[in-house]
Amino acid sequence: MLSKNLNKSINSIVFDCPYCNANKITFDIKGINNPQLDRNNNKIHFQLFAVCRSCKNAITVNAIENEEFFKMALGDKLNNDRGTTYLQIVLNYFNEHERDLHTIFSSFFYNPILPSSTQPPEHLPSEIENIFLEASKCLSVNCYNAAGAMFRLCLDITTKKIIDNHSNKNPTANDKKTIHSRLKWIFENEILPSDLEDLSRGIKDDGNDAAHDGSLNKDDAEDLLDFTYILLERVYTEPERVKIAAQRRVARRQTP
C-alpha cells in the first residue's frame, strides 16, 4: 500500500493501520535499519520501524531511495559501499532537517509485523499441517472464529481417518456423523486414552457456534488449539517417531 499523506515531521508517517483499521493514522518512526540494494531495480531499500499511535502495534515501512536526492548528496562519493553511505546520509539529514520524507524517499509500503504462531507437531500429512498452520496464524492475530473453524477442520479430517482405520469395530452412521459423535465413539472403544477425553470437553458442540453465530472467544480458540495439537501428536507424531526409532534400531544391528 502506498502512502500519499505523509506527516511533515521526519519522525512520523501516515498510513491506514492494518491492525486496528484506523484510517490515515500517524505512525511514529522509532528506528531505521541498514539499507539494502535491491538488485532487481538497482535501488536502495530502507526499513523504518513504525508504531501506530492508536493501537500501539508495529509495522515495518519499506522506503525506497529518491535517486535525485542521493545523487546530489553523494556527489563524488558514490562507491560500492552504498548501504553504509546511504544510511549515514539519512541519519545526518534526520538530525539537521524537518521536511517531507519524500525529499529522501520516493515511495513507501509496509508489511505488518505478525505475532509468532504455534508450529504444528512433527510428521503430519501435508494437508493437515497446512490447515493447522492457517489456524495458528489466525489465532495469533486474534481471529478466533477463523482459527476455530480451521482447528475443527483438522479434527474433522483426523477423526474420520480414525473411524475409517477402525471400521472392523462397526461404527454406525450416527457414530460417524459429527466430530463429537466420532470422538465419543473413539473414546468408548478405547482407541485413544481417557486423558484426552477430558481435554476434549473444552470444545463446544460441533463447531456450530463458530460457524453460525461467530461466538468463539480467545479461551475457546486456545482450548481448540490445545486439544487439536495433542490429538495430532497422538495420531500422527508419536507413531511415526516409534517407527523411525525402530528403523534406527534395525539399522544399528545390521551386519556391516
In the chain, beta strands by DSSP E: 12-15, 25-32, 36-38, 43-52, 58-65, 105-112
What domain range is 100 assigned to? 12-112
Q: Does 26 share its domain with 105?
A: yes
Q: Does 101 share its domain with 175?
A: no
Distance of alpha carbon 216 from alpha carbon 144, whole angstroms: 6
The answer to whether position 60 is within a domain reads: yes
The answer to whether position 6 is within a domain reads: no
Distance of alpha carbon 160 from alpha carbon 58, whole angstroms: 41
pLDDT number for residue 187: 94
* Domain final position from 81, 112, 143: 112
Domain count, the chain: 2
Instruction: Look up the CATH number of the domain holding residue 181.
Output: 1.20.120
- From first to last of its 256 residues, what are the pLDDT tens digits of the chain? 333 333 344 567 888 887 777 888 988 888 777 787 777 777 888 888 888 899 888 888 888 888 777 777 766 555 545 555 677 777 666 666 655 566 778 888 876 666 777 899 999 999 999 999 999 989 988 899 999 999 999 999 999 999 999 999 999 999 999 999 999 999 999 999 888 988 887 675 544 445 456 778 888 899 999 999 999 999 999 999 999 999 999 988 886 6
Q: In angstroms, what is the C-alpha Rg of the chain?
A: 27
The answer to whether position 63 is within a domain reads: yes
* Domain final position from 112, 141, 158: 112
Task: Tell me phi and psi for residue 238, to 5 degrees.
Answer: -65, -45
The predicted model scores a pTM of 0.60
pLDDT number for residue 242: 95
Q: Which long-range contacts (CB under 8 A, 24 or more apart) does 45-52 make?
A: 46/86, 46/87, 46/90, 46/105, 48/13, 50/12, 50/13, 50/15, 50/110, 51/27, 52/17, 52/19, 52/20, 52/22, 52/25, 52/26, 52/27
Return the ∠ at Cα 61 (arms to 38 and 144), rounded to 5°: 120
Q: Does 246 share its domain with 147?
A: yes
